[in-house]
Amino acid sequence: MFEYLLYNLGTIIVSLVILGIITAIVASMISDKRKGKNIACNCGCGSCPKASACRSTSNKKQPHIPG
């Protein structure tokens, strides 16, 4: 068993590093989602041509303007 671990130590270390990076990315995305940030682009909706179709803007109530 110990010999197997020594033989594959490089692969094990690289796999753990990649797993750690993926875990950090997913945790960051979950944190941003809980804060209400857009996890798709993070560049803001002001210049987006599809801004009106975004869920974050369509869920907000628009003020009623009598007229």
Dist CA 51 CA 4 (whole Å): 54
* Tokens encoding 23: 């875990």
Dist CA 40 CA 62 (whole Å): 24
**What pLDDT, on a 0 to 100 scale, did the predictor assign at position 36?**
78
Domain edges within the chain: 2-58
- Give the pTM: 0.56
Give 3-state DSSP helix, strand, coil % of the chain, rounded to 5: 60, 0, 40
pLDDT tens digits for 11-64? Answer: 999 999 999 999 999 999 899 888 877 666 656 666 667 767 665 544 455 555
**What pLDDT, on a 0 to 100 scale, did the predictor assign at position 57?**
46
Nearest alpha carbon to residue 41 among 23, 57, 31, 54: 54
**What pLDDT, on a 0 to 100 scale, did the predictor assign at position 34?**
86
